[in-house]
Structure formats: C-alpha cells, structure tokens
Structure 1
Amino acid sequence: MPLNLDIPTIAITGSCGKTSTREFLTSIIESRWNILKNNGNKNLPLQIKNLLENYDSEMDAIVLEMGMGKPGAGKRHCMNIIPNISIITNIGTAHYGNLGNSIKSTALNKSELIKGMKQDGILLINADDENSNLLETNHFKGTILKIGINNEANYHAINVEYVEGGMSFYLELNNVVEKFFIPAFGVHNVYNALFAVAVADQLGFGVLEIKQGLQDFIPPIKRLNLIEMEDGSTLIDDTANANPESMEAAFKVISKIGTNKNKVAIIGSMLELGEYTEEGHKKVGSLLAKYDIDLVYAYGEYTKTMVNEALLGGFSKDKIHHYNDRDELHQSIKYLDTSNTVMLVKGSSSMQMDQTLSYIKNRNLYSIEISQNLKMGTVCMNSKTQEHINEKKINLVFGQLNKMMIIRIKNDLPLGRIVLPSKFIDGITIPDVPFDFYMSNNNLHIGPVIGMFVYQRYLKDPSQQLLRLGNYNDIKGLIYLFRPDSLNQKELTVDGLYYNPSKKSFEKAKLPAPTVVFNRIPLKKSIYDFFKKNATLFNNNYGLISKWWFWTVLSKRTVLKKHLPETILLKNRSHILNFLKKHKVIYLKPAKLAGGKGIIQLSLIKNQIHFKTYSGNKFVLNNNEDVRKKLKQHMIKGKQYIMQRAIESYHKDGEKVDFRVYIQKDYSKKWKYSGMEAKVAENSSVISNSKNRYKVMKGEEALRHYYGMNQKMIQSKILQITDVCKKMLGVVEGQGYNLGDVAFDLIIDKEGHIWVLEMQIDYAAEIKALRGDDEQEVLPSILSTPFEYAKALSKF
C-alpha cells in the first residue's frame, strides 16, 4: 500500500527544473521543519521506494523529485506514496524518445502524477509554458495554482533582472510587493524559485523565511554552476543533462553574463530525443547566432546536425568545430586563450561532458609549483583552493607511483596554486622540468611520465636522441631513456636519463616507472607483460612482425592483396626454380631481418640464373647444383626465408628508385602521413639501403623527377599511398599490436601502381641524424611525433 500521509507530501516533476525547484523549496522549509527528501538525481520509482523506508512520524514534510522519463513511471511513483501537493515545472522535449515522440504524449505521461495524487490537494503548473495546457487537469478536484512571469498567474513575478551573483525579481505576497534574490542565473531559475515560493506560502511560511531560504539556496551540482578561474575567466558547469529547452536557457545565461566577453560553448550531443533528435539539434544550431556565441566546440555524432544548421544560418565555419573523439576535442581546447571569456560546458549526462569540464578546470583554475623547501609528504594551497578540492589530503600521482599528501593552508598563495615538495619519496625527486597536470577526484596527476626503451649505445651517447625532443615545449613532462634491466618491478622505479629542457641535455636519475612507453628495442616477454599490465606500451617488438606474417595476414584482404608482391614461404630449395620460372626475377629474404641483410636476388635470363647478394656479389649460374651451393654459401643460417616476386621500380639512366613512407600517430591518436623519402641506387643493386644507395631525396621530388607528376598528381598519389598504409595498419592492429610509429617500404611501378614490400616498426630513425643533409630532410616531421602520441595516451 502506498504511504498516504497527513503531512505535506510534495512531488515535483517536469521536463526541466525539477532538481533546482526541489532545492529552492527545501532551502526554505528546512529552516523550520524536519523533512525527508531525495538527493542528487535519485528520482526513479525504486529509489523513491527505498528512500521512503527512512520515513518516521517525526517528519514534518516529504519533498520528492520524481523522474518520469519512461512510460508508467508516474503510476509507479504513486504506488509508493500519494502526494498532496504536486508541481509540474513544464513540458518539453526531455526524454522525448522514451515518451512517445510527441509533446502531447509527454504531457500525458506527466499527467499520471495528477491522477495519482490526492484529488483535493494542490497542483502547481507554469502559466507561461504553453505545453502545460496539454496536462490532463479537467477531472482534478483540488486547487490549481499557477506561477508565471509573462502571463497572468497566482504568483506573478515582475521586473526580473540579472544582478551581481544571480537574479532579482518582485512578487506580491500578502498584498505587499516584495523584492526577492536568488543566487543562481537564468530566467528559468526564477520560474523554479516561484514554484518554491508558492508552496512555502501555501504552507504558511513568512516572507522573511522565504527570502532567507532563497538566498541560502545552493545550486545543484552540474546545473549552471559558475566557477571563477585563476585567469579571470568564468567556467559554467551545466553537464547534468541537456535538451533543446535547457540548451536555450543556458545560452540566455551565457549571453547575459558574457556581455563584452568572449562566449565559448562546448556542447555534447542531446540524447533520448527519439524522433526529435535531428530537429532538436537543428534548433540548437539555429540558436547559436541568436545568442551571439563567439566560438563553439561540438562533441558527439548528433551535434554534426547542429553544426550544419549553424553554418546554414551564417555561423562562421572558423568559429565552430566538430569532434567525435574526446581526446581530439581536448587537444583543440587545450591552448585556448580563455582570458575575458565565459565558457559553457553542456550535454546529455551520457556524453560525460563533466570530463571535459574537469579538463578545462584543471588547466585554468589550478597551477603547480615545485619547492625544494617544502617538507616531503605535504602540499600547500590557500583555503579557497582547498574548498574546490574539498579534502584535507590529496593523492599525488607521479608516473606509476603515488603518495598521499597532507594539505597545509597558506593563504598568501594565489587561488588555484598548489605547491609540491621536490622530494616525492625517499630516493625519488621531482625533476625541475615543466609539468602538465590534472585533477581526478582526489588525485593530482603530474606528468606526463614517458619512457623510451633504447639500445645501450644511446645511454652512452644520449645526444643522438636530442632531435626527438624538438617539440618538447608542446609535450612537457618527464621524458627519459632507459633499459629494461633498470626496472625495479617491486618499487616501480627505473634508472634512466631524463631530458632537462633548460640544459638541452639528458641527466641521470632514479625515476618513477612510466605510464607510457615508446619502445625501440626487442623486449623479453616478462618486460612486455609487466608494461602491458601496468602501463601503455606501443611499438612493441615482442613477437616481431615478420615479412611472412605481414604477407599471410594482409593477403587475406582482397583490397590489400593487390598491393602486395606474391610471396611464399621457402620450405624447400627445389621450389625456388618453379617460382623463378613464374616471375623471372625474385628475391629471397630473411623473414625477420632488416637493413637488407641476407637478401638474394635471382633472375632468369636466357636459361641462366643471375645470382646477386645484398653485399654486391654477382654470379651467373648454369645449373641447379650451382644454385644450391651458392644458396648454402650466402643464405644466413638458421633464418626463415621467404620468396617474393620482384617488382620493377621505375628507373631512369640506370637508377633504382624505391620509397619509404612514414605513418605515425600524434595527439589525435589517429594515423597520419608524416613524410616520404625516395632512396636511389644503381639499377643493378639488390637493395637501396644505406650501403648501396647514392642519394636520398624527398618523395614528392622523386615523383616529380622520375614520374613526371605535377603537384596535383603528387598529392593524389600521396593520398593513395596513405590510404593503403592506413588500411594495412588497421588489419595489423586488429591482430593485437599497439603501434604509433611505422615506416612502409614500397615501390611505385611504371604504371603508378603501389606495391608494399614490408612494414617496419623499428626502422633506424636516429641514425639519419649522423648521415648527410639529404637523409635529414624528413627528420623534423618524424622524430618527435611519437612523443605527441605518447602524451595523448597519458591523458595529459
């Protein structure tokens, strides 16, 4: 049986404003009464049922926000408790898709509360909301009270104004016009307050009690909460939920409080709109120009419709940007100049726009400072900064290490400044480098902490890695070189060489184990397993991608097989002649060696076999036995070999030309074309690696010089190459490899067809810095990019 009580039992529902109305009302009546209410967004029938188990006879009133986002919810609520006072704030498009895809069906669902409440009770509705006329009130025998601003109402607000810190309005109570103030912005909040005033008045609360209650109102979290940032900007958190009506309400607020300021809206998709999804997003798009929004970042699939509608309405394409990837969104707003700016962050709760709000807040409210004079285990901040954190301790996360720090108040520090001790734990000092940081719950993360596995020679001469730090100022954080054997898995520390940007050199130190590792060496399985479990490792060489594996996996895709020279595994030397007769020129290649080592070229010319090795040896053989002997002499023992059809590269004046294309991931975490070079050797050479080639040139220049392409044709060819490489990478990553930096060796034949010979994840990039100017031309665009990807993986 539902609870049917004599005390005020107040139910609040509607499409928008339920929570704020509840908080306005309880802020007034809690001053005198002992009440039972639901908190947060716990407004579903089962949640209400569980809450009511806490009712006892000492309660003076019950105030319940009732969510009715699904059919029948109103009936289920009234099976738990029968309200004697009900508020229906408005009827809009919230949960439109769940409630029959029409305003009328939404109103009918909300009307279940009217039918289920005490029929001689009090019903309050919005006189200014046209859709509320659709509510079924004809058979209700109780008192209907209306609140409003524009239309005639029992509680009619006038002279509504934006003032410092909130809104003011006038309202007649007990035949006297009184001035009221609410510490919340937006005309929609005045409507919410009017409902609270009306109920409190009906319950006998005096004018002074009502005024004080409204002034004591604390806006519910994620509902137009204003956060004043250290740089003077204002951040508005309205991430609880979104529909077209609440979007417009938020735009009105940002337009009013953002007068003479830059107005930035960061908007996530509106969900649960059903058949109104497209129209709803179009409506919001049309509102952007109306409310003079200066810059828009749209996130989510459905907001693409909003963007298109805004563009059709004349919104500048340079001022509106769309993203389906949150990390891309964050990278775009990372360096946004927010001075003299009001920023709104809003979207449906499922879009988790609070993550984006936190991202902005971290970078605009807080700042960190590292002090050598601060005691280990403590951090300093002023009292207002601690109010934002709302904790007495804070957990400092540094790489894979973390330590709980006691907060000491130091009020001479500016708002948002957090001072950290340079001594993190015994044996680990936070280096004096520029760090990024972010707050997550009570965790302060400083970083990024990125490690790169390198060969021992680079620890002896780390200067060879300096070119990789060319864009360090964009990446920041702790970046270091280390070896697998320096890892202490128990202490989560390593011994490495970290980059010191002020000295532009590397320094030796004991460091926290990294959260992201860029790998450049073969790894033991135990090391691979550790970092796979505890960090993010990319370009891992464990289970090296061999030429045979590459062919086997990719040749199963018809669209890719046409870009792969026919390849078979060499199991029996007798098969070599059959393969040679078929293709006339073939290569024998070790499946897992790089640098051209062990490669043999066989050509069938007038019944003679021309035998060439990667080192330049040449033989003309006349019979199978001679071939067998030479193979035994020149094939590398113990290595698996493949046979591959030779593709004739385009050559001119006796030159052999092939290409290396660099495909990498950057901050976007998506593959991009970073550069291409052409390696030119004599046509008679088996390979075009460093020992045999006589020049390297930019790929674009080679396409122009050797293939006679104009600029448009060159761009088209690069797009073709990039598309083929990305498709291959998609297949490879689908096999479980985490990659971020690869090179493809390929040939373009005389017809312009692309033939991919192999993919390399451990290509010799640093060595180029020691070679001629022609080899170094692509270095700026390739060496530093993996650290951009590493930073994106680190979440900084």
Structure 2
Amino acid sequence: MKTLKLSDFIGTINGKLLQGNPDDEIRKIVKKANNLSEHSLYFHSGKKAIRDDCLLGKTNYTVVTEDQDILSKVSETASVILVANCKDSYWRFIDYYRNQFQIPVIGVTGTCGKTTTKDMIKHILTRTMKVHSTLFSQNGLHLNLHYLLGLNEQTEAAVFEMGVAYPGNIKNSGKYFKPTIGIITNIGEAHLEGCRTLGNYIRAKGEMLDVLSDEGILFINADDQNIKTLPIASFKGRVLSFGKDPAAEYRAENIQFENNRMLYTLHVENHEYRVSIPGYGEHNVYNSLAAIASTTVLGIPIEEAIQRLSTYRTMERHVKIYNGAGNITVIDDTWSCNPSSVKSAIDVLKKTSDGKTEVLVLGKMQRLGNQVSKQHIQMGKTIIDVGGVDHLITVGSSARLTGESAIALGMSPDKVHPVMDALELEAKLAEIRKEEMMILFKMSLGKMDPSFRKVVEKYRFT
C-alpha cells in the first residue's frame, strides 16, 4: 500500500478529525477492529460499538466512525475521524486510493480462461513493467480491498480477475479496480446457483460494460454467441474482438496441435504472425489472443508479445498432459468443472488421442443451481455429438445422469461406468486399463474427497 497521511484524505471522505495529528501516517487498512495495529486504518461501519478488548494495548491507529463516544475508549495516541455515513466514507476512500494510480488496469472476466488469460498478460508485461495482479484463481469479493491496496508507487500496470457468483459482483469489483481495459473471454453455463438463469449470468458478465469508462477499451470473443447478446453497441469506449471470425481484429487460423503446444496464424490488420504457445486446446488459443491483443494496446509490439508468450508455463491441473507408464497418457483438467470447460477438455482428448483408447472420467459440474440435472443430461448429448469416447466413467450421482443420457442416445451400456468413490474409480480404471490409453480426468478436485487426487496422481506418475 502507498503510505498516506490523514490530511491527504480527511476532506475527501467528509471527515472531521476529533483526535490525532493530520500528519499521522496510514500504511495499511484492516477489516476488523481487533486487527488494528500501528499506522493502520479501520472503518467502523457496523451498528455495534467496538469492544473495549479490541483496543487494549494498541496505539497509533486511526478509526473512522459515526460514533463520537468512541473517544472514551481509544488510546491517547489514536486518531479518530468522525463521519456522517461510514459506508459512504469508505467508498470515497476507495475511490481516492484507486485514483492515486494513473496506470493501465486490465479486468478479465469470463466463464473459462480468466486465470490463464490474466497470467498470460502478466507474463508478457513483467519483462519490462512492474505488474500487480490477483493471485491464482482467487477472485472472491472479500479479496478486492487486499488486491487494491497491492497497488503502490512502483506499480506500472495491474491485471485483475473479476469473477461472477451473483449479479452485481463485477460492479462491486469495478468500484475497487476501475479497469481501463476489460476482457470477456467467453460466457457459458456456470454459477447458476447464484444467478439462477443463464440470462442473469450473461447480464452479470455484461456488467463489464458498465464499469469501464467512456475512454476504456473492451476486448470480446467474436465467436461467443452469448457475448453477442450483450448491448455492446451502447458501449461508448473502443471495442476490439478476437477469435476465428473473419471480422475479428485479432484473428486466428490454421490452428494445430503439435508437441504439447498450440500453433496458429495470427492476423492483425494486413499482417500475419506465427504463434506458438505451450499447452493443448483451442481454448488456450482464445486466451492467448486476448493476452496479445490487450498488451498490444499498452505498447508491446505484437512480435514481442508472441515471443514472450512462447515461454509461458501452463497452470497445474489446467488441461495438463502427462505420459504415464507404457503408452498411457493422462490429461489432468481437475481445477474446475463446468459445461464449457468440459467441452473444451473433450475437444483436446479427441484431437490428441491419436488412436489410443479414449477414457473420460467425469465428476460433478459445479455451481449449476437448479440446472444441475439438466446440464448433466445435456452433457451426455454433447459427448455423443463429438463422436463419443471408448469409456465414460461418471463419478457421483450428478455425473451419473450424463452416463444415462449417453446410453439413451446410443452409447453402449458396457462402455459407461458409474462409480461413487475413489476406490471404485481406481478399480474400474484397473479393469479397463490398456497399454495404449488416454485418460481425461475432468473434475473439480477441490470440491471432492482427497482420495480422488491420489487416483489422478497414480496415473499421472506411474
């Protein structure tokens, strides 16, 4: 966090200094009174009074409050700022702090690819810039303040994931981050337990249009049908697209899978570039297009962005391919599981199996709310539509619906294997094991018993 003096922002938050020195410094903000320490700032916006024991032995802190009676509780070395509306003052402070940094801030949202796109952008920029970003896939709203305060005098650019669990999430994150560039990677079926309907979810993703200023730049996936339903024409900033569509400003063609890399030709205006990125899957082509496009508008030459991206390291458990014992190949895509990512992973399986026996191990698709049964049944049709697999192992009662759907649509029942726990999964894999086999593990391991991870690791490393 950039160090501030109380005098820097008291007027901005409509505060009155009841006690303390205007030159006192703030070096961090805390969310709870019991976390107060020297040079920290706490906004007391709750209705309950701060407990005396939270303040015992603490000095040189600052409290912003509506409660004038707090003066009888605080240390003589503490500063107290009285405000009429603490929540309003908090947001005024957030606005003030973000405006201290006139830097490019990239906000990334989408059903799939947020983390990879964010990390690709950071990888491209960090060679020449000091970049701050969200960590891994941790994009919960409770982390927004932490990430905002990560901006300091050395920061030259920032890239933040902006997730959606409920409508209004991106608007909330936008208040903290104020992105100057927005990216929507794609919009599929996900987080329906909070958004309830796909329409609500699409609109929630579309809040990116609201949080960008009229001078902002929006990058969208030109091939995504749900994105096309957003009111893009109403956005007053600049809109650029990426994808395979002939009209995309950043267009990919001649896409190839080769030696655990994706190769493609990038067309920008009247120029062609050959791109090579680590990892498999057309979804990563889209992620790389968004990364190249967004860093190009920040002044990184396209050739340089492509060269930097060639050394990007793919994330663990994100369509990661391993060669196991013999000719068994494992695709570990167990970070998360939703309909869009399942389709992408199956595409990789189909395009890389090269005659090997194809095995799909499918767990429950997460965060689908009342759509959970419908989406699992629909996935059975998706599997059949892409040509099926040699063996489908479904894990749990929800995924079992996918197997039943596939059978109803013509898949042989002796090729569909429902299991309920890790022991059954391991036994079934041993039963159908062949020397030349490719296994796609598509599950959200973080939501499952740890014993399932041991099964995946057994096949990855033996």
1:82 aligns with 2:185: no
Return the offset for 1:335. 5.0
CA distance in 2, matches of 1:43, 1:112: 16
Amino acid at match of 1:112: E
Closer, same or farther in 2 for the Cα pair 1:173/1:353, shift >3 Å?
farther
Return the offset for 1:355. 4.5
Return the offset for 1:134. 2.2
Closer, same or farther in 2 for the Cα pair 1:327/1:229, shift >3 Å?
same
Return the offset for 1:341. 1.3
Structure index of larger Rg:
1
1:19 aligns with 2:115: yes
Kindly indicate whether the alpha-carbon contact (under 8 Å) linking 2:196 and 2:370 is maintained by their aligned counterparts in 1.
no
1:219 aligns with 2:292: no
Question: How does 1:94-105 map onto structure 2 within 5 Å?
Answer: 94-102=190-198, 104-105=199-200
Closer, same or farther in 2 for the Cα pair 1:256/1:211, shift >3 Å?
same
1:199 aligns with 2:308: no
- Residue correspondences, number: 365
In the alignment, which residue of structure 1 is the partner of 2:343?
Answer: 248
Report the aligned-residue RMSD: 1.9
In the alignment, which residue of structure 2 is the partner of 1:358?
Answer: 454
Return the offset for 1:353. 7.7
In the alignment, which residue of structure 2 is the partner of 1:343?
Answer: 439
Local SS of the residue matching 1:11: strand
1:287 aligns with 2:382: yes
Closer, same or farther in 2 for the Cα pair 1:300/1:225, shift >3 Å?
same
Local SS of the residue matching 1:15: coil
1:71 aligns with 2:162: no
CA distances 1:763-795 after superposition (whole Å, capped 9, x unpaired): xxxxxxxxxxxxxxxxxxxxxxxxxxxxxxxxx
Instruction: Select 1:168's aligned residue among 257, 263, 270.
Output: 263
Closer, same or farther in 2 for the Cα pair 1:27/1:291, shift >3 Å?
farther
Closer, same or farther in 2 for the Cα pair 1:274/1:119, shift >3 Å?
same
Amino acid at match of 2:117: T
Closer, same or farther in 2 for the Cα pair 1:138/1:364, shift >3 Å?
closer
In the alignment, which residue of structure 1 is the partner of 2:141?
Answer: 45
Local SS of the residue matching 1:233: strand
Kindly indicate whether the alpha-carbon contact (under 8 Å) linking 1:262 and 1:341 is maintained by their aligned counterparts in 2.
yes
CA distance in 2, matches of 1:248, 1:184: 16
CA distance in 1, matches of 2:383, 2:309: 31
Kindly indicate whether the alpha-carbon contact (under 8 Å) linking 2:376 and 2:398 is maintained by their aligned counterparts in 1.
yes
Question: How does 1:503-522 map onto structure 2 within 5 Å?
Answer: none
Instruction: Select 2:219's aligned residue among 124, 129, 132.
Output: 124
CA distances 1:517-553 after superposition (whole Å, capped 9, x unpaired): xxxxxxxxxxxxxxxxxxxxxxxxxxxxxxxxxxxxx
Return the offset for 1:271. 2.2
Amino acid at match of 2:158: I
Kindly indicate whether the alpha-carbon contact (under 8 Å) linking 1:268 and 1:353 is maintained by their aligned counterparts in 2.
no
In the alignment, which residue of structure 1 is the partner of 2:241?
Answer: 146
Closer, same or farther in 2 for the Cα pair 1:180/1:25, shift >3 Å?
same
Closer, same or farther in 2 for the Cα pair 1:128/1:350, shift >3 Å?
same
Closer, same or farther in 2 for the Cα pair 1:354/1:91, shift >3 Å?
farther
1:56 aligns with 2:152: yes
1:268 aligns with 2:367: no
Kindly indicate whether the alpha-carbon contact (under 8 Å) linking 2:219 and 2:240 is maintained by their aligned counterparts in 1.
yes
Local SS of the residue matching 2:226: helix
Structure 1: any 5+ residue segments left out of the alignment? 367-796
Instruction: Select 1:300's aligned residue among 396, 400, 403.
Output: 396
CA distance in 2, matches of 1:112, 1:288: 32
Which structure has greater strand proportion? 1
Return the offset for 1:39. 1.8
Kindly indicate whether the alpha-carbon contact (under 8 Å) linking 2:123 and 2:308 is maintained by their aligned counterparts in 1.
yes
Kindly indicate whether the alpha-carbon contact (under 8 Å) linking 1:23 and 1:219 is maintained by their aligned counterparts in 2.
no
Amino acid at match of 1:136: P
Amino acid at match of 2:260: G
Local SS of the residue matching 2:266: strand
Return the offset for 1:179. 0.5
Kindly indicate whether the alpha-carbon contact (under 8 Å) linking 1:23 and 1:218 is maintained by their aligned counterparts in 2.
no
In the alignment, which residue of structure 1 is the partner of 2:106?
Answer: 10
| TM-score, normalisation: structure 1 | 0.44
Kindly indicate whether the alpha-carbon contact (under 8 Å) linking 1:128 and 1:151 is maintained by their aligned counterparts in 2.
no
Return the offset for 1:174. 6.3
CA distances 1:547-568 after superposition (whole Å, capped 9, x unpaired): xxxxxxxxxxxxxxxxxxxxxx
Kindly indicate whether the alpha-carbon contact (under 8 Å) linking 1:86 and 1:123 is maintained by their aligned counterparts in 2.
yes
Amino acid at match of 1:40: F
Kindly indicate whether the alpha-carbon contact (under 8 Å) linking 1:231 and 1:365 is maintained by their aligned counterparts in 2.
no
> What is the identity percentage for the equivalent residue pairs of Structure 1 and Structure 2?
29
CA distance in 1, matches of 2:208, 2:417: 42
Structure 2: any 5+ residue segments left out of the alignment? 1-93
Question: How does 1:367-766 map onto structure 2 within 5 Å?
Answer: none
Closer, same or farther in 2 for the Cα pair 1:24/1:338, shift >3 Å?
farther
In the alignment, which residue of structure 1 is the partner of 2:424?
Answer: 328
Kindly indicate whether the alpha-carbon contact (under 8 Å) linking 2:422 and 2:455 is maintained by their aligned counterparts in 1.
no
Return the offset for 1:19. 1.0
CA distance in 1, matches of 2:460, 2:188: 35
Amino acid at match of 2:361: I
Between 1 and 2, higher relative CO (CA 8 Å, sep ≥ 6) is seen in 2
In the alignment, which residue of structure 1 is the partner of 2:18?
Answer: none
Return the offset for 1:52. 2.2
Return the offset for 1:352. 2.6
CA distance in 2, matches of 1:360, 1:193: 28
1:312 aligns with 2:408: yes
CA distances 1:590-646 after superposition (whole Å, capped 9, x unpaired): xxxxxxxxxxxxxxxxxxxxxxxxxxxxxxxxxxxxxxxxxxxxxxxxxxxxxxxxx
Return the offset for 1:62. 0.2
Return the offset for 1:349. 4.9
Return the offset for 1:297. 0.9
CA distance in 1, matches of 2:362, 2:372: 15
Closer, same or farther in 2 for the Cα pair 1:291/1:350, shift >3 Å?
farther
Local SS of the residue matching 1:97: helix
Local SS of the residue matching 1:322: strand
CA distance in 2, matches of 1:151, 1:355: 47
Local SS of the residue matching 1:167: strand
1:106 aligns with 2:189: no
Amino acid at match of 1:345: F
Kindly indicate whether the alpha-carbon contact (under 8 Å) linking 1:107 and 1:131 is maintained by their aligned counterparts in 2.
yes
1:137 aligns with 2:232: yes
Kindly indicate whether the alpha-carbon contact (under 8 Å) linking 1:16 and 1:94 is maintained by their aligned counterparts in 2.
no
Closer, same or farther in 2 for the Cα pair 1:142/1:28, shift >3 Å?
same
Return the offset for 1:132. 0.1
CA distance in 2, matches of 1:54, 1:44: 16
Local SS of the residue matching 2:152: coil
CA distances 1:128-178 after superposition (whole Å, capped 9, x unpaired): 001002223343211011111034111111111112222111112463211
Local SS of the residue matching 1:177: strand
CA distance in 2, matches of 1:151, 1:48: 37
CA distances 1:407-458 after superposition (whole Å, capped 9, x unpaired): xxxxxxxxxxxxxxxxxxxxxxxxxxxxxxxxxxxxxxxxxxxxxxxxxxxx
In the alignment, which residue of structure 2 is the partner of 1:30?
Answer: 126
CA distance in 1, matches of 2:450, 2:350: 21
Return the offset for 1:300. 1.3
Kindly indicate whether the alpha-carbon contact (under 8 Å) linking 2:335 and 2:446 is maintained by their aligned counterparts in 1.
no
Local SS of the residue matching 1:159: strand
CA distance in 2, matches of 1:65, 1:213: 21
Amino acid at match of 1:261: K
CA distances 1:689-728 after superposition (whole Å, capped 9, x unpaired): xxxxxxxxxxxxxxxxxxxxxxxxxxxxxxxxxxxxxxxx
CA distances 1:357-405 after superposition (whole Å, capped 9, x unpaired): 4324325624xxxxxxxxxxxxxxxxxxxxxxxxxxxxxxxxxxxxxxx
CA distance in 2, matches of 1:229, 1:66: 36
Closer, same or farther in 2 for the Cα pair 1:360/1:221, shift >3 Å?
closer
Range moving further from structure 2, 162-171 or 348-357: 348-357
